[in-house]
Every structure is written in C-alpha cells, then in structure tokens.
C-alpha cells in the first residue's frame, strides 16, 4: 500500500499484490478489523512478461477538482481514470478516451498534478471535505508521471469537458531525467515525483552517486536535460518515498534499504535542495537483497 488519499470521509488505497483499489469509510471503528465498502478489481494485462506478470496499481491520486481518481498501473502500462460518485464515494471507470496508454514495458509508477500560472506551479493538495477547488481563469493543469521500467518522466496537458471525464494530451516526448540520459546501472529506477513552487522533484533509486547514497533530481518546468548540478543526495539508499511540507522548505525522505528518514532543507522560492538537517534510523535496515525498511512517509501538519 502506497500513497493513500482521502476524499470526504473516505480513505482510498491501492494494492499491487491483488490488482485492486480499496475504499474505506473513516474514521475506523475502535474495535474490529477495518473492511472496505468497495473494492475495484483491475483488468489484467494482455501481454504478460516477467517484469509485468499482472496489473500492479502503484498509487492513487486525486485530480485538482476532486472529482476524479487516477492510478498508474505498473503492470499494464496504463493510467486508470475513475469518476468519483460524490455521494457514495464509489468509483466509476472512465472511458478509453480518458485512459493514458503508455508504451509497452514502460511501467508507470507515480504521478503528480500541478497547476501553473505566470510560469510557476503549485502542488495540488486537498483536505478530506466536500468543497471542490475550482480552476481560476488562465490556469493550466499538467499531469507529470514517472516510469519504473523505462525510466522516463512524461507530461500531459489536462482538459475538462462538461459532464465528462478529463482528457490527457501528451505535451512532448518523454525523457529520462538523469545526466546524459543514462542511468549508471540497470538496477537504477525512478521512484516518486513531487511538485512544489517552481520545481519538480524525482527520487532515483540505486544510482549510488553520493558515496553509495542515492539521488533526488530537481527539474524546472520545460526542462528536458539534467546535469550533475540537478542531483542531490537522498541521504540514504533506495529513496522509495519522499514528501514536501506545506511551507515547501523541508523535504522528508524515506530511504528503504538504509531504513532512514532524512530531512532536507529546501528553498521554497527556487526549489533548490540545500542541505541535510536531520537523519534518523527507523528500525533496522534490511539485509542486502531482501525486502524491508521504509515503504512510505508523510508529513503530519
């Protein structure tokens, strides 16, 4: 389970293991095991491979209006799009004209919506209540996604039609956000993508560019090439999860294989990552080659 989202009094999570999205009423009761009120089973891929043996939803995210929920499917090379019933919270699958289809073997893993105005953009965060945010005139909405298997970042213009699902149009060719457009190892993969202020940030797992520790990449809108100056140490190994606080001046990184939470100072005006200010070992680091460590991290503000 990664990146759960809340809408009204509903918690939505994705499950890679059983190819489904579950919806729970919250808060949970004091006694008893929480049970979902709805489970959406996802279709299996038509082309099964060793790396993509089944549907693997890796995230759920709300669109800016709070009316639609998306889930990148690493196993099926699609971005599922659902309309949310605002009364029941249940999900209704949007048509194929709203589904994003990626190249075979891409493995979309994580995405983020941003709105832009006058050359700047801001992350889209929602509180779990019924009011829907509205787009102001002149604002542009873009969806950015990262792929685990191909290692590219892609961008899509988002347009809305009355009484219909959103439509996603590719803005430009996808590209690999790394110096020279080449990863140092075939084990190197992209993890998550976040946005705040004037920049995007992407975690890179198993590149070991900082004395064995891995990297965070900082991009500006429209940037297509990456230099070493755009890389910053995650402070640990395998940054599976990271989040930016509301002020935009701190980044918390959950490094899975070193099992460390690292706090990085960030300039909210430029988006530049400045320096590591804290590091904490949580539990024990997993043995090399085994699963374990930190899986997800959030700010409680």
The first and second tokens of residue 38, run together, are: 């709805």
Question: What pLDDT is attached to residue 204?
Answer: 99
Question: What pLDDT is attached to residue 4?
Answer: 62
Give 50-122+139-281's CATH code, choosing from 2.130.10.10, 2.60.40.10, 3.30.750.24, 2.40.50.140.
2.130.10.10
Question: What pLDDT is attached to residue 137?
Answer: 54
pLDDT profile of the chain (301 residues), mean per 10: 57 79 88 89 93 96 95 98 94 97 98 75 43 56 98 97 95 96 97 95 98 98 94 98 97 97 98 98 88 88 92
Question: What pLDDT is attached to residue 182?
Answer: 97
d(CA 183, CA 190): 10
Beta bridge mates, 203: 216
d(CA 240, CA 244): 14
Compute how many other C-beta atoms are within 10 angstroms of the C-beta atom of residue 146.
28
Domain boundaries, the chain: 50-122+139-281
Question: What pLDDT is attached to residue 235?
Answer: 98
Determine contact, residues 14/39, Cβ cutoff 8 Å: no
Residue keyed to tokens 């993508």: 193
pTM: 0.91
Determine contact, residues 119/146, Cβ cutoff 8 Å: no
Q: Which long-range contacts (CB under 8 A, 24 or more apart) does 226-234 make?
A: 226/177, 226/178, 226/179, 226/181, 227/179, 228/179, 230/179, 231/179, 231/204, 232/264, 232/273, 233/209, 233/276, 234/203, 234/204, 234/210, 234/262
């Amino acid at each position: 389970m990664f990146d759960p989202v809340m809408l009204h009094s509903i918690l939505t999570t994705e499950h890679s293991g059983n190819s489904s999205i579950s919806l729970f009423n919250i808060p949970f009761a004091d006694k008893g095991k929480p049970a979902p009120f709805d489970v959406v089973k996802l279709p299996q891929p038509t082309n099964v491979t060793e790396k993509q043996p089944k549907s693997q939803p890796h995230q759920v995210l709300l669109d800016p209006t709070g009316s639609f929920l998306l889930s990148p499917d690493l196993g099926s090379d699609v971005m599922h799009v659902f309309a949310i019933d605002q009364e029941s919270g249940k999900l209704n699958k949007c048509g194929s004209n709203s589904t994003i289809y990626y190249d075979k073997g891409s493995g979309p893993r994580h995405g983020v919506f941003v709105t832009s105005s006058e050359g700047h953009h801001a992350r889209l965060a929602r509180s779990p209540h019924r009011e829907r945010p509205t787009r102001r005139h002149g604002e542009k909405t873009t969806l950015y996604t990262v792929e685990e298997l191909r290692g590219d970042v892609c961008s899509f213009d988002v347009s809305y039609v009355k009484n219909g699902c959103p439509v996603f149009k590719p803005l430009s060719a996808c590209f690999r956000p790394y110096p020279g457009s080449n990863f140092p190892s075939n084990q190197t993969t992209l993890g998550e993508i976040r946005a705040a202020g004037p920049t995007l940030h992407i975690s890179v797992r198993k590149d070991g560019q900082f004395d064995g520790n891995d990297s965070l990449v900082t991009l500006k809108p429209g940037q297509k090439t990456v230099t070493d100056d755009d890389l910053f140490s995650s402070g640990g190994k395998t940054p599976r999860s990271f989040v930016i606080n509301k002020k935009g001046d701190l980044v918390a990184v959950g490094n899975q294989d070193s099992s460390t939470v690292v706090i990085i100072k960030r300039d909210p005006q430029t988006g530049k990552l400045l320096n590591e200010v804290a590091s904490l070992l949580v539990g024990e680091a997993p043995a090399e080659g085994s699963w374990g460590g930190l899986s997800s991290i959030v700010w409680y503000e």
